Amino acid sequence: MADVFISYSSHDHDKAAKLTERLREAGLSVWIDETNISAATQWSSEIVKAIEDCKVFVILLSPSSFGSHNVIKELSLASEEKKHIVPVELETLELTHEVKYQLAGIQRVSYKNYEAIEQAVQKFITDLPTSSEGPTHPISKKPKVPLWKKIVPVFALVAFGVYLYFQVIGKETVPADHSKASEVKKVLVLPFVSLSDNKDDAYFADGLTSEIITTLSSLHGLQVTDRQTAMQYKGRKADLKAIAKELDIRYVVDGTIQKQGDQVKISMQVVDAESGKTILSENYDGSLDNLFSLQSKIAKSVAFELQGSLVRDQIDTTSMKARTKNPAAYSKLITVLGMIDNIDTKEQLEHGIVELQQISKLDPQYVEPYFYLGLAYLARSRTFTHNKRDMDMADSLARLALRMDSTYPDSHILLANIAGERGELDAAVAEVVAYQKLRPDNIAIYGYLGNLFYSHGQFDRAATYLERSVQMNITNLSNWTILIDCYQSLGDTVKRNKYIDESQPLYELYLSKYPSSSSTRAHYALNLANRGKKDEAHRQIELIKSAAHASPVDFYNAACTYGRLNEPKEAIEMLKKSFETGYNPGQAVNKDPDLVSLHDLPEFKALAAKMIEANKEK
């Protein structure tokens, strides 16, 4: 199913093709008829299906389209199907009676204003639900164990505040005080240079340049110089600082490609033109048979580095510092947040709660400690105690933070988490909408909505938001895994495999930078098992088992991976280790589809009963 269907007259083909290219560069899937069906030709059933399946119907308005029988029929069908329609004027004109009814009250956009066209299309594709929308989509299956509950580190699973520190940055990065966050990173991809003797091989270099530009252009927070401008520098000796000043850009990507027989060698670097420092430098070897795969991998490597550093740059602690007049309270909060990602046990979490309580005593009017205390109690309830009192305490702390500062957006996300945990989907959505009004620019909202609908078993709806999330931010590997699990739950193995394959180089990139991140390795192992890559999944599990800081949740995921691989003995062993070291899913262990292969085993039944008994509310 394509996001966008473009209806146009054959006389306007070139403009339609150009618009299609621009929308695809923005990360949108576009269906466009390339056959130029004439009015006398039978209307294609493929076109009918494409209109029925699309999310947004874009019609190019011109005198020739008004005279096209097929364009009029396409518009009529889109109107009957209640599709979102975006009329794009190729020139200023009056509507004819054939289209006036269908387009009545719909604002037209000029073809010359591409940004307005993209915004109009994106609005209908990424619109958030209203607070009163509720669960209008049918539930595809009974809710199962939400994968994000078992694969995300204890604290990182709760909300955006912790997510910003730990989900994207990783354990190796300590939160820093950025006095001025960068909103957009301007990037230039210089034409890659072919080192081959054969001048005809230059098209390999141009292809790689275009692939990187296309990949980066679809991502949030990156502003990429267009291909036409970039190609003007082909063959010129690059003075990066001069080019950066000329084009007002910050980062420059360049490299070389050399073809020797059926082998190709590629060198690539990303330079911070402001400082002159090389922030990424890599070499790749491969065969021509895998050239397109190699191009995609390199493009994602650049994107992963630039977008990941974008998130790091945007961790703005200035507002956190400004909310307290007590420097000691702020300093201690930063220290505690730096400790939180290493929490694997209930005892460590209890220590974090005590530390946050002490900060609130240093400055009783400081809103952040109450918010993070709420996160802590929610994490304790979810992962260790399953206690209603902890959930109620989290709720009270979130509402206290909101009373102290009605503009503090993360309180709404905490309340949404609590409502979602209680099964109150309408209330959770209402809190997300309230958050979005305060932070309309935060693309993490799509990932959160995906998580929310996923946890309530609405896998088709969750996938819609998660797809948008990973298109805009490829660095959030947790959302990739949940998206994959959505399609696993929906039985759509084609899309499941597609996203496993697309995310595989991202996991490899992340783990090459942060090899000690067992939680990320657990995501990866489960995906590999679902793809049937047994040896690779085993290799990841062995690394988890030998890791110095693997958590009980990581062992649980190793059990799930073994379950997917139909290796019950190893799965039971890991499940026991997870339980003995502190993780207890309770009743949910019997509902986890990754463990179905264990259900008839006496050892599993005994262990599940032990978990359920230990998990009863005291």
Q: Is the pLDDT score of 9 beyond 50?
A: yes
Q: What is the predicted pLDDT for the residue at 309?
A: 52
Over residues 120-135, mean pLDDT: 60
Residue 95: DSSP 8-state: P
Q: Is the pLDDT score of 39 beyond 60?
A: no
Q: How many CB atoms lie within 10 A of CB 123?
A: 12
Q: What is the pTM of this model?
A: 0.62
Strands 109-110 and 84-89: parallel
User: Tokens for 407?
Assistant: 């503009």
Backbone torsions φ then ψ of 256, nearest 5 degrees: -130, 155
Over residues 24-48, mean pLDDT: 65
Q: By mean pLDDT, which of 174-188, 547-561, 590-604 is the weakest? A: 174-188
Binning pLDDT at 50, 70 and 90, where does residue 560 land? very high
Q: What gap in Å lies between CA 80 and CA 532, rounded to an integer?
A: 43
Percent of the chain with pLDDT over 70: 84
Q: Under DSSP, is residue 22 helix (H, G, I), strand (E, B) or coil?
A: helix
Whether the CB-CB separation of 416 and 380 falls below 8 Å is answered with: no
Q: In the chain, count of helices (H) and strands (E)?
A: 28, 11
Q: Is the pLDDT score of 573 beyond 90?
A: yes
Non-local (6+) Cβ contacts of 226 within 8 A are 213
Q: Which helix (H) or strand (E) holds 141?
A: none
Whether the CB-CB separation of 485 and 142 falls below 8 Å is answered with: no
User: Tokens for 155?
Assistant: 């604290």
Over residues 142-150, mean pLDDT: 44
Q: What is the predicted pLDDT for the residue at 315?
A: 44
Q: Under DSSP, is residue 129 helix (H, G, I), strand (E, B) or coil?
A: coil
Binning pLDDT at 50, 70 and 90, where does residue 311 land? very low
Q: Is the pLDDT score of 526 beyond 70?
A: yes
Q: Is the pLDDT score of 602 beyond 90?
A: yes
- Which single residue is written with the structure tokens 């799930």? 560
User: Tokens for 6?
Assistant: 């473009």
Q: Is the pLDDT score of 142 beyond 70?
A: no
Over residues 501-505, mean pLDDT: 87
Pick left, alpha or beta for residue 53 (phi over 0 → left; psi -120 to 50 → alpha; otherwise beta). alpha
Summarize pLDDT for 288-304 with one digit per residue, the tens: 777 777 777 787 788 77
Binning pLDDT at 50, 70 and 90, where does residue 173 land? very low
Q: How many CB atoms lie within 10 A of CB 359?
A: 24
Binning pLDDT at 50, 70 and 90, where does residue 143 land? very low
Q: Is the pLDDT score of 214 beyond 50?
A: yes
**Amino acid found at 308:** G
Non-local (6+) Cβ contacts of 318 within 8 A are 177, 178, 179, 180, 181
Q: What gap in Å lies between CA 485 and CA 488, rounded to an integer?
A: 5
Q: Is the pLDDT score of 162 beyond 90?
A: no
Q: Is the pLDDT score of 580 beyond 50?
A: yes
Summarize pLDDT for 318-362 with one digit per residue, the tens: 778 888 889 899 888 888 877 665 566 778 888 888 989 999 899
Q: What is the predicted pLDDT for the residue at 129?
A: 66
Counted residue by residue, the chain has a size of 618
Q: Which whole-number Å values give the CA distances from 346 to 310, 339, 377, in the listed order?
A: 33, 14, 11
User: Tokens for 370?
Assistant: 């109450």
Q: Is the pLDDT score of 86 beyond 50?
A: yes
Whether the CB-CB separation of 544 and 525 falls below 8 Å is answered with: yes
Q: Is the pLDDT score of 463 beyond 90?
A: yes
Summarize pLDDT for 239-257 with one digit per residue, the tens: 777 888 888 888 888 889 8
Summarize pLDDT for 321-331 with one digit per residue, the tens: 888 889 899 88
Q: What gap in Å lies between CA 498 and CA 503, rounded to an integer?
A: 9
Strand partners, 193: 256
Is the pLDDT higher at 157 or at 478?
Answer: 478
Over residues 547-553, mean pLDDT: 84
Q: What gap in Å lies between CA 111 and CA 89, rounded to an integer?
A: 6
Whether the CB-CB separation of 55 and 36 falls below 8 Å is answered with: no
Q: What is the predicted pLDDT for the residue at 127?
A: 57
Q: Is the pLDDT score of 139 beyond 90?
A: no
Percent of the chain with pLDDT over 90: 21
Q: What gap in Å lies between CA 573 and CA 219, rounded to an integer?
A: 42
Q: What is the predicted pLDDT for the residue at 558?
A: 93
Q: Which whole-number Å values give the CA distances from 597 to 176, 250, 356, 608, in the listed order?
A: 46, 52, 42, 14
CA dihedral 119, 125, 130, 132 (to 10 degrees): 160
Q: What gap in Å lies between CA 206 and CA 93, rounded to an integer?
A: 40
Binning pLDDT at 50, 70 and 90, where does residue 472 land? confident
Q: What gap in Å lies between CA 259 and CA 383, rounded to an integer?
A: 53
Q: What is the predicted pLDDT for the residue at 170?
A: 30
Over residues 28-39, mean pLDDT: 64
Q: What is the predicted pLDDT for the residue at 608?
A: 92
Backbone torsions φ then ψ of 5, nearest 5 degrees: -110, 130
Q: What gap in Å lies between CA 502 and CA 189, rounded to an integer?
A: 22
Checking 272-277 for CB contacts under 8 A at 24+ apart, the result is 273/240, 273/241, 273/243, 273/244, 273/249, 274/244, 274/250, 276/240, 276/241
Q: Is the pLDDT score of 559 beyond 90?
A: yes
Whether the CB-CB separation of 224 and 25 falls below 8 Å is answered with: no
User: Tokens for 171?
Assistant: 């354990």
Q: Which whole-number Å values give the CA distances from 531 to 293, 463, 498, 526, in the listed order?
A: 18, 18, 10, 9
Which residue from 171, 157, 148 is spatially nearest to 413, judged by alpha carbons?
157
Strands 263-272 and 277-287: antiparallel
Maximum average pLDDT range among 250-264, 382-396, 596-610: 596-610
- Rg, C-alpha atoms of the chain: 26
Is the pLDDT higher at 276 or at 127?
Answer: 276
Non-local (6+) Cβ contacts of 337 within 8 A are 162, 165, 175, 372
